[in-house]
Amino acid sequence: MNEDVKNQLDQIGDIVDSKIEKAFNQAQENAKGEVESSLKSEITNLTNEYNEKFENATKRMDAIEVESKKTLTNVTTKTFKSEVETAIKDGAIESFQKGNANAARFEVKAGDMTMANTFTGVVAGETVIEDFKFDPSRSVHIRSLLPIGSTDAQTIRFPKESAFDDGAAATAQGSALGQSDFDVTATSVNVEKIGTFVRITEEMLNDTAGLSSYLSARIPSKVMAIEDTEIISGDGSSPNLSGLLTDGLAFTTSSGGLFYQSVESANEFDVIVVALNQLAVLNYQADTIIMNPTDFHKIVLLKSTANEYLRNQIIQGLQPAINGVPITLNTAMPAGKFLVGNLAQSTQLWVRDGLSLEFARQDSDNFTKNFVTVRAQERVALTTYTPNGIVQGTFSSAKTALETP
């Protein structure tokens, strides 16, 4: 409620209270228990004024609530498809469509976008097709698991902590304190370019519905697929990102490792559980498990000695999990490898340039075949602040290390 209205109501209420108290005193003093008619009328008028103001304030609050709901209803998550359509309608490639320019470019800010599930439109040379049918793309991309920041720099410089020697201890009076050392390295990574290109027909270029549908269906998935591979497996040599498998802490397979040669008939499920424990003893709470779909389904098919499936240990549904940690399946993760980590704390993806689309006719034999080349690219960097927050390895070597002799 508006503060001014509230104050007015409080003032009126106080006056009414004082008048009622005065009327009560009059009634007590009067032998017949009567109250002056003028005081009665005054109390009635004040009460009516209070009720009227309260009713008006309530109506105003209801109107504000309705308007707020309308505003919230009108706020929709932007999709890549809607952004492409907006860019086309705003004239980003209008000159190119009309043949007045040799090239056209616009950038789509893809940081907060979602990808539409279905696409409709007109394909050149055909009648209306209700849905575009393409090979399916990945439903989840690795960037969705990472914090994302924006940068204007070409190089990201940051401290990377790889170890910590804890010398803290209870110390007797007069004795020297133990020294603790942080193993921190000044590190830098470069912003790298990730991109691809596709060819479309001149007819599709001039068909806004078909163009936006095609680009929305194909371009993001192609670039994100490359990005997935770089985030997971990039070796750090330019122009590659330094990926999670490169920077992460290796699964301990040496004799000093936890559970070394202590698991009978070790399998992939056991490996993931031990990897989770390797993080836990370093005080990291894992937030994701990444593996190839083939390895995941190997776990689903595991059976006990009684030939019973062990899948009840994995929550089946929209988000499978092991020990409560969600599993992300992605074909960018090489089969036979795995990663367990607290990615929210240990890593960050930096975006210098969002996904941009460029159109050009002067490419190969485009002119003679009436094709237009569409180039898509972005510029990103990946930082891993704490490698100890990521455990990665191969299932085969990990199982060998855990297996009882």
Give the tens place of pLDDT for each residue, 374-394. 888 999 999 999 999 999 999
pLDDT at 213 over 80: no
Note whether 346 and 387 are within 8 A (CB): yes
Higher pLDDT, 124 or 150: 150
Instruction: Read off the tokens for 352.
Output: 């210098």
Of the listed ranges 30-34, 104-108, 245-249, the least confidently predicted one is 30-34
Computed over every residue of the chain, the mean pLDDT equals 77
For residue 156, what pLDDT is reported? 93
For residue 55, what pLDDT is reported? 72
Determine if the peptide bond prior to 239 is cis (ω within 30°): yes
| Average of per-residue pLDDT across 237-258 | 90
CATH architecture label of 80-402: 2-Layer Sandwich (3.30)
Higher pLDDT, 97 or 192: 192
| 3-state SS string for the chain | CCHHHHHHHHHHHHHHHHHHHHHHHHHHHCCCCCCCHHHHHHHHHHHHHHHHHHHHHHHHHHHHHHHHHHHHHHCCCCEHHHHHHHHHHCCCCHHHHCCCCCEEEEECCCCCCECCCCCCEECCCCCEECCCCCCCCCCCCHHHHCCEEECCCCEEEEEEEEEEECCCCCCCCCCCCCCCEEEEEEEEEECEEEEEEEEEEHHHHCCHHHHHHHHHHHHHHHHHHHHHHHHHHCECCCCCCECHHHHCEECCCCCCCCCCCCECCCCHHHHHHHHHHHHHCCCCCCCEEEECHHHHHHHHCCECCCCCECHHHECCCCCCEECCEEEEECCCCCCCEEEEECHHHHEEEEEEEEEEEEEECCCCCHHHHCEEEEEEEEEEEEEECCHHHEEEEEHHHHHHHHECC
Pairing of strands 347-360, 121-122: unpaired
Give the tens place of pLDDT for each residue, 324-363. 899 999 999 999 999 999 999 999 999 999 888 888 888 8
Higher pLDDT, 72 or 204: 204
| Average of per-residue pLDDT across 269-292 | 94
Q: Which residues contact 363 (CB under 8 A, 6 or more apart)?
A: 373
For residue 98, what pLDDT is reported? 65
For residue 309, what pLDDT is reported? 82
If you search the block for the tokens 């003028």, which residue do you land on? 38
pLDDT at 126 over 80: no
Higher pLDDT, 43 or 189: 189
Higher pLDDT, 333 or 173: 333
Higher pLDDT, 256 or 15: 256
Higher pLDDT, 117 or 194: 194
pTM above 0.75, yes or no: no
Instruction: Read off the tokens for 218.
Output: 């194909």
Of the listed ranges 89-103, 213-227, 298-312, the least confidently predicted one is 89-103
Q: Which residues contact 284 (CB under 8 A, 6 or more apart)?
A: 341, 342, 345, 346, 388, 389
pLDDT at 86 over 80: no
Residue 34: which pLDDT band, with cuts at 50, 70 and 90? low
Residue 13: which pLDDT band, with cuts at 50, 70 and 90? low
Q: How many CB atoms lie within 10 A of CB 288?
A: 19
| Greatest mean pLDDT among 8-17, 233-242, 311-320 | 233-242
Higher pLDDT, 285 or 34: 285
pLDDT at 248 over 80: yes
For residue 357, what pLDDT is reported? 81
pLDDT at 89 over 50: yes
Comparing CA positions, the residue from 133, 106, 109 lying closest to residue 119 is 133
For residue 134, what pLDDT is reported? 52
Higher pLDDT, 302 or 99: 302
pLDDT at 312 over 90: no
Note whether 401 and 261 are within 8 A (CB): yes
For residue 118, what pLDDT is reported? 35
